[in-house]
A = this chain, B = another copy of it.
Amino acid sequence: MTIIVDGMGGDHAPVEILKGCAAAVEELGVKIIVTGPEDMLKKTMEDHDISDENIEIRHADEIITMEDEPGCVLKAKRNSSMGLAFDLLKNGEADAMVSAGNSGAVLAGGTLIVKRIPGVKRAAFAPVLPAGDKKVMLIDSGANEVCTPEYLDQFGTMGAIYMKHMDFCDTPKVGLLNNGTEECKGTQLHQDAHKLMKENNAYDFVGNVEARGVFDGVCDVLVADGFSGNVLLKAVEGTALYMMKIMKEALTSSLFSTILTGMLKPKLRKMKKKLDYTEEGGAVLLGICKPIVKAHGSSNAKAFKNAIRQAADFAESHAVEAITEQLQKQKETPNA
Task: Give A residues with C-beta under 8 Å from B.
Answer: 131-132, 142, 145-146, 177, 179, 185-188, 190, 210-216, 226-228, 230-243, 246-247, 249-251, 253-254, 257, 260-261, 263-264, 267-268, 270-271, 274-275
Contacts and interface: CB of A to CB of B under 8 A. Distances in A.
Contact of A241 (B215, B232, B233): B215
Nearest to A224: B231
Nearest to A243: B243
Given A215-B242, A238-B211, A231 B179 contact: yes
Contact of A239 (B185, B226, B240): B240
A158 to B, nearest CB: 21
Q: Residue among A232, A242, A247, A249 with the most chain B CB within 10 A?
A: A242
Q: How many copies does the complex hold?
A: 2
B246 A275 contact: yes
Top 3 closest pairs, chain A to chain B, by CB: A212-B238, A211-B234, A235-B235
Nearest to A266: B257
Contacts of A230: 179, 211
A226 B186 CA distance: 10
Given A179-B226, A179-B227, A250 B267 contact: yes
Given A231-B177, A235-B236, A267-B250, A145 B211 contact: no
22 contacts: A142-B179, A145-B185, A145-B187, A177-B231, A179-B226, A187-B227, A190-B227, A211-B232, A211-B238, A212-B234, A212-B235, A227-B228, A232-B232, A236-B238, A239-B240, A239-B243, A240-B243, A246-B275, A249-B271, A250-B268, A250-B274, A257-B264
Contact of A271 (B232, B247, B263): B247
A186 B241 contact: no
Contacts of A210: 234, 238
B257 A267 contact: yes
Contacts of A235: 211-212, 214, 231-232, 235-236, 239
Nearest to A257: B267
Contacts of A190: 227
B243 A267 contact: no
A274 B264 CA distance: 22
* Max chain B Cβ within 10 angstroms of own Cβ: one of A210, A226, A251, A254: A210
Contacts of A186: 145, 227
A177 B234 CA distance: 11
Contacts of A226: 179
A238 B215 contact: yes
Contact of A146 (B131, B142, B187): B187
A76 to B, nearest CB: 19
